[in-house]
């Protein structure tokens, strides 16, 4: 077995999150029948840094070493449902009160009704789905250009943003307008982009994961990480990121407060994470 590398900050962050998951799972064993499976999944995930943070890995192993935290995100997201579930207490009345105070009404409920547009529905649902392309983009873009340090920065910025969102979802679950309000009328969602979005959500949407909007937070984080490595490419992502931020509200997936909180979270969290990741990348012991 090759010499072992020091853990990177992203490994420490994941271990911290796994600890939070196991504590929450323990406290919910009596009410969540599947919470015990979190212990097994968390244990398996905890093995990965030990397996990957060593020298002597082949080309595939070195690539996996860089991207494994991104690949874990769907698993971590799915674990939220094991600990929350549709019967958990949600804080939507409180968040709706914030919405009323800040915006004078329930924007996600009334916006699409007052300004229904097939064009905007198609464009903004497509932008919403663009989340699945934007978030991993900087990681694989920089890896393809053999810019390993920039890819590592992107991984740490994006995963840190998701992890903070997931902790909030566990401790302060908010269902969001997708669950709380009647769904948009068929004429509004009668387009290919809306059908694609709803088909995707039907395959896996964790209840209680609305505030802050991880769609917005992670997309802003990916854009900031791309900007860090390439001003030109980062600037190109500003348009789809803006459309997605508008789309999550117009398409009634999130409260406007959710989107605002996602922006604020990313802007506060990502710059120091990027700074920490850059310092770690300059440390020869980090590989």
Predicted TM-score of the model (pTM) = 0.92
Q: Is the pLDDT of residue 75 over 90?
A: yes
Domain-embedded: residue 194: yes
In whole angstroms, what is the distance from residue 67 CA to residue 149 CA?
Answer: 12
In whole angstroms, what is the distance from residue 98 CA to residue 268 CA?
Answer: 20
In whole angstroms, what is the distance from residue 21 CA to residue 166 CA?
Answer: 10
Domain-embedded: residue 39: no
Domain-embedded: residue 56: no
**Position 109 confidence tier, pLDDT thresholds 50, 70, 90:** very high
Domain-embedded: residue 273: yes
Question: Residue 49 belongs to what H/E stretch?
Answer: helix 36-52
pLDDT digits (tens, 9 = 90+) for 173-195: 999 999 999 999 878 999 999 99
Assess contact for 212 and 258: CB atoms under 8 A.
yes
Percent of the chain's residues with pLDDT above 70: 95
Enter the tokens of residue 162: 């998701």
Domain-embedded: residue 1: no
Domain-embedded: residue 131: yes
Domain-embedded: residue 160: yes
Domain-embedded: residue 79: no
**pLDDT recorded at residue 282:** 62
User: Which domain range does residue 139 map to?
Assistant: 88-286
Number of domains in the chain: 1
């Amino acid at each position: 077995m090759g010499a072992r590398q020091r853990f990177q900050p992203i490994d420490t962050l994941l271990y911290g999150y796994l600890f939070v998951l196991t504590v929450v799972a323990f406290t919910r064993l009596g009410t969540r029948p599947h919470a015990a499976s979190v212990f097994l999944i968390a244990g398996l995930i905890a093995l990965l840094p030990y397996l990957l943070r060593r020298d002597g890995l082949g080309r595939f192993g070195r690539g996996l070493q860089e991207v494994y935290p991104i690949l874990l995100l769907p698993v971590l997201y799915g674990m939220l449902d094991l600990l929350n579930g549709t019967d958990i207490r949600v804080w939507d009345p409180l968040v709706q009160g914030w919405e009323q105070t800040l915006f004078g009404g329930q924007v996600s409920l009334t916006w699409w009704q007052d300004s229904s547009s097939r064009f905007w529905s198609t464009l903004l649902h497509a932008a919403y789905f663009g989340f699945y392309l934007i978030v991993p983009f900087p990681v694989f873009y920089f890896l393809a250009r053999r810019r390993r340090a920039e890819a590592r920065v992107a991984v740490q910025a994006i995963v840190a943003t998701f992890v903070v969102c997931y902790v909030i979802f566990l401790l302060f679950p908010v269902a969001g307008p997708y669950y709380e309000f009647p769904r948009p009328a068929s004429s509004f969602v009668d387009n290919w982009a809306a059908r694609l979005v709803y088909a995707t959500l039907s395959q896996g949407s964790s209840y209680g994961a609305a505030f802050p909007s991880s769609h917005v937070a992670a997309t802003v984080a990916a854009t900031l990480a791309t900007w860090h490595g390439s001003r030109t490419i980062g600037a190109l992502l500003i348009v789809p990121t803006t459309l997605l931020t508008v789309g999550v509200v117009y398409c009634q997936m999130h409260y406007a407060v959710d989107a605002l909180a996602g922006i604020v979270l990313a802007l506060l969290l990502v710059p120091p994470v990027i700074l920490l990741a850059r310092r770690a990348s300059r440390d020869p012991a980090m590989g």
